[in-house]
Structure 1
Amino acid sequence: MSVVTQGTQLYVLANGVVREVECITAFSPGGNPADQIEDTCLSERSTRTYKKGLRTPAQASATLNADPANASHLMLSNLAESSDQDDLTFAIGWADGEDEPTVGAAGAPGAVDGLILPDTRTWYVFKGYVADFPFDFQANTVVQTTASIQRSGAGVWIPKAGAGS
């Protein structure tokens, strides 16, 4: 059964604190396609052959109406400008639940990349860093931004308890 987007929330674990990035208007986690490794023999006359190579995580994007009074928007902007090299953990909570993630102690059972994720909601979790937070000023609208998040490694899709059974 499909899940509506209304109620979707984006969270980030930064500096040991989980915060919601409030009022996102769109989100795309980006892909993670496998590279192509050509292994065509010289005797082949018509078609190349390939093996699956390493995956290359793409950039995720989060669109929002930029609000200078919103602490979570300022946090994303500051993370984009930071020279910190540590990856952050991002989690998208699907609209099939409302519970929020919490910080998981190192090695805590059930923790995913430092987060405890309630099983009452579907999650998509990945690591990465905020690469850019560009403003977009257009006539007759609000100031927007599409924050770019460079993923590092694979994302993990975690269905809520009982899904698919």
Structure 2
Amino acid sequence: MSRIKTQKTQVYAVIAGAVVRFACYKGFSFGQDTFGKIDASCLDEDTKDYERGMRDPGEGSISIDLDDENVSHIKLLQVAESGEKIEWYIGSSHASTPPTYEAVTGIDLPEDRIWWSFKGYINPTAPDDIAADALVSYAFTIVRTSGVITTLRTVTP
């Protein structure tokens, strides 16, 4: 039975045509989608009947303990301020092979790990509470503008 550890999961995004890896993050959440309910009930029924409506992508988050010498932490702050919608790629701990991106062909996800991908933007935020015996931390809200797509790895028997 295979169990997939979260330790060594890596977070990437395509920003301005380049793959950026967000290093030393503390937590990541995809958020959960909801769907509208379209009432398809007949008046002569005792129970309501619904059709699934439009997807409302969830809000996730990425958390860091700010390191102003970590270029990816500064990039998070900049992307949050810009409001730019970016493509996110989260790679499982099976391997550490990064994705590659070319403007003509798009993203190339290595087949040696599971990938979860979506589009979304980050809301700007202030640091979390400043307290004794703590680090300056941020919890950025990621507003997804798409569902999460799972790309399974290639497993050889």
Q: Would you say the 8 A contact 1:80–1:132 is kept in 2?
A: yes
Structure 2 distance, partners of 1:122, 1:38, is: 37
Structural mapping, 1:95-106, within 5 Å: 95-106=93-104
> How far 1:33 sits from its partner (Å)?
2.3
For residue 91 of structure 2, what is the amino acid of its counterpart?
G
Structural mapping, 1:125-144, within 5 Å: 125-136=117-128, 137-144=130-137
Number of equivalenced pairs: 155
Structure 1 distance, partners of 2:54, 2:131, is: 40
Q: Would you say the 8 A contact 2:83–2:122 is kept in 1?
A: no
Q: Which runs of 5+ in 2 are unaligned?
A: none
Residue 121 (structure 1) aligned to one of 107, 113, 135:
113
Label 1:15 to 1:142 Cα distance change in 2 as closer, same or farther (>3 A): same
Structure 1 distance, partners of 2:7, 2:82, is: 31
What's the TM-score once normalised by structure 2's chain length? 0.90
Structure 2 distance, partners of 1:88, 1:23, is: 20
Provide Cα deviations, 1:116-152, integer angstroms capped at 9, x if missing partner. Answer: 1110111101111112343112321111111111111
Structure 2 distance, partners of 1:133, 1:74, is: 13
> How far 1:90 sits from its partner (Å)?
0.6
For residue 76 of structure 2, what is the amino acid of its counterpart?
L
> How far 1:83 sits from its partner (Å)?
4.9
Structure 1 distance, partners of 2:103, 2:24, is: 28
Give the secondary-structure state (helix, strand or coil) at the position aligned to 1:36.
strand
Identity over the aligned pairs, expressed in percent?
31
Give the secondary-structure state (helix, strand or coil) at the position aligned to 1:80.
helix
For residue 98 of structure 2, what is the amino acid of its counterpart?
E
1:16 is matched with 17
Question: Do structure 1's residue 149 and structure 2's residue 135 form an aligned pair?
Answer: no
1:56 is matched with 56
What's the TM-score once normalised by structure 1's chain length? 0.86
Show structure 1 runs of 4+ deviating over 4 A.
none
1:91 is matched with 89
